[in-house]
Amino acid sequence: MRLFAKWRRRGVLGALAGALALSAMTLGATAALAEKIKVAAIYTLPVEQQWISRIHKALNAAAERGDIEYVWSENVANNDYERVMREYAEGGQQLIVGEVFGLERAARKVAADYPDTAFLMGSSFGPSGKNFSVFDNWIHEPSYLTGMIAGATTKSNVIGMVGGYAIPEVNRLMNAFMDGARSVNPDVKFLVNFIDSWYDPPKAKEAAFAMMDAGADVMYAERFGVADAAVERGVKAIGNVIDTSADYPNTILASAIWHMEPTIDRAIAAVKEGRWEAADYGQYSFMKYGGGSVVIDENLVPADVVKMVRDKEQEILDGLFRVNINDARPVSDM
């Protein structure tokens, strides 16, 4: 269905502008370093989606600073993704950002065909070739910290978790969250549910209601819909990737936030300085690079819990504490 659901006004214009600019450059541009580099992003979902919104934000910020010219396509189906990658590469884009979870091998082949283009892709696997770099939302550290808050604030000792798909990047954050909760509350029990969709809020809501019926009083809101259910029943929720506390007053205890700026800014600098190579940018989502952070609603979380979490945050930043990385599918323990 998404094949036709694309909306790529800016994409087409951008490709045109890119081609024009490229020919101008070959005509005798001298100050190559001062030029804005041309960046295109290809997203499989709309830019409102939590994960994608973080990349979009970082690229928009770079464009506003004047570092890049930014064009993007959203809602590109996986089976259409290669074509759009090629279009942008042919159109003279210097850096192409996106996500290849549904076409890992194919995307690496495309990148190999365009050795002069830099690719920075969200991926479950490693970098490849000379120009295919990867990133992901490695925010297991803030997830651990929000888990501590959930573990310390639950009264029923039951925490509900609704996830999209049980894939490594989802599992990793859930496991870190569970570790954090167990570290402060050994009695805590988890209910885990996957809805098999990134975007079905009514279904996520039903899953959340079922967990609340089973006693959950803190919800891990990985999907849209979970916090809505929490508001309706008056229970608390923990946010993930973005800060939604303004949309759900008195509900979001804390959120593990992903910042894509450290990753994007390093990638842009590498392209600008002509030293792009295939690398794993995943670490730039770690807290010590400012790629992850935790926001806490101090009106909802007791001060001693906040202090405990801030202390642990400092330990992570100082390199004294390392959050375990576990990609296995989390399971209910009730």
Which positions touch other proteins (CB under 8 A)? 1-7, 45-46, 48, 53, 75, 160, 166, 191-203, 205-207, 209-211, 213-214, 224-225, 228, 242, 244, 247, 329, 331-334
Q: Which residues contact 210 (CB under 8 A, 6 or more apart)?
A: 193
Rounded least distance, CB 313 to other proteins, Å: 26
Q: Which residue number, 22 or 166, has a Cβ lying nearer to other proteins?
A: 166
- Report in angstroms how near the CB of residue 194 gets to other proteins at its nearest: 5
Nearer Cβ to other proteins (108/205): 205
As measured in angstroms, the least distance from the Cβ of 247 to other proteins is 7
Instruction: Please report which residue ranges of 215-283 form alpha helices under DSSP H.
Output: 226-233, 261-272
Q: Can you spell out the DSSP letters for 54-65?
A: HHHHHHHHHHHH
> What phi, psi does 186 have (nearest 5°)?
-65, -15
Q: Give dist(CA 231, CA 234) in Å, integer.
A: 5
Cβ-based nearer residue to other proteins, 23 or 332:
332
Q: How many residues does the chain have?
A: 334
Q: Output 106 or 214, the one with its CB closest to other proteins.
A: 214
Which residue is listed with tokens 């804005």?
Answer: 36
Q: CB of 292: closest distance to other proteins in angstroms?
A: 20
CB of 314 to other proteins, least distance (A): 31
Kindly compute the dihedral angle of the four CA atoms of residues 201, 202, 204, 210, in this order, to the nearest 10 degrees: 160
Q: Which residue has the tokens 């283009």?
A: 117
CB of 258 to other proteins, least distance (A): 15
Nearer to other proteins, 29 or 331 (CB): 331
Nearer Cβ to other proteins (148/158): 158
Of the two residues 142 and 225, which places its CB atom closer to other proteins in the complex? 225
Contact (Cβ atoms closer than 8 angstroms) between residue 127 and residue 104: no
Contact 42, 85 (CB under 8 A): yes
Least separation in angstroms between residue 18's CB and other proteins is 21
> CB neighbours of 39 closer than 8 A, spacing ≥ 6?
59, 62, 63, 68, 69, 70, 71, 93, 94, 95, 96, 97, 268
